[in-house]
């Protein structure tokens, strides 16, 4: 089963995804895409680590999500990816259009064939004003297109609002 969980900042999407992973009864592998580039982000990462069960396996990979998914997906595993928007930001920061397109295409191609449960967490960024800068607009556009494609493929899609899950699919 593949699930996409979307929501704004502090919407409760990560907590909900963790609850869904725990409820799966499978071995949970948490795939973190964040990098600690400053003190505030390092503190966020530390808080997230402390909130997760100790027995969950942790893989930290900011760029090559496709390889990690291929490596760790298994019938008895639940892979929780948190989050796709940080992964997308990391790829955009590389300023390598080919790599960005290759990673996104690889994810979309690979996802239907992965064994086990896959939970993807991402920020819904397209609900606000249109950003002023070119890079920010590109990020919002890339995220929106990726979310549309993933939502079409995933078995389940949930939008988190104020900590409340809104089931979009099925």
Q: For position 86, which CATH number holds?
A: 3.40.50.300
Q: Can you read off the two tokens belonging to residue 128?
A: 């606000």
Reply yes or no on whether 48 is catalytic. Answer: yes
Model pLDDT, residue 50: 72
Give the pLDDT confidence of 61-74 residue by residue, as tens digits.
999 999 999 999 99
Query: Residue 15, Cβ neighbours under 10 Å: how many?
Result: 12
**What is the extent of the structural domain holding 6?**
2-169
Please state the pTM of the whole predicted model: 0.92
- Report whether 142 contacts 100 (CB < 8 A): yes
Helices (H), the chain: 13-23, 39-51, 65-72, 84-93, 97-110, 134-153
Model pLDDT, residue 79: 98
pLDDT greater than 80 at residue 46:
no
pLDDT greater than 90 at residue 34:
no
Name the active-site residue from 48, 55, 109, 147: 48
| Number of domains observed in the structure of the chain | 1
Judging by DSSP bridges, how do beta strands 57-60 and 156-161 pair with one another?
unpaired
In the chain, what are the helix, strand and coil shares in percent, each to the nearest 5?
A: 45, 25, 30
Model pLDDT, residue 51: 79
């Amino acid at each position: 089963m593949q699930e996409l969980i979307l929501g704004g900042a502090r919407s409760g999407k990560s907590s909900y995804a963790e609850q869904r992973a725990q409820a799966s009864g499978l071995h949970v592998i948490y795939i973190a895409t964040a990098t600690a580039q400053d003190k505030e982000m390092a503190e966020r990462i530390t808080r997230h680590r402390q909130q997760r069960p100790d027995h969950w396996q942790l893989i930290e990979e900011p760029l090559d999500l496709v390889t990690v998914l291929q490596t760790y997906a298994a019938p008895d595993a639940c892979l929780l990816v948190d989050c796709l928007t940080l992964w997308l930001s990391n790829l955009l920061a590389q300023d390598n259009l080919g790599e960005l397109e290759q990673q996104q295409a690889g994810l979309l191609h690979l996802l239907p064939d992965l064994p086990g449960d896959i939970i993807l967490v991402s920020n819904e960024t397209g609900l606000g004003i249109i950003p002023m800068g070119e890079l920010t607009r590109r990020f919002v556009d890339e995220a929106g297109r990726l979310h549309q494609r993933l939502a079409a493929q995933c078995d389940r899609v949930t939008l988190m609002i104020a900590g409340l899950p809104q089931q979009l699919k099925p």
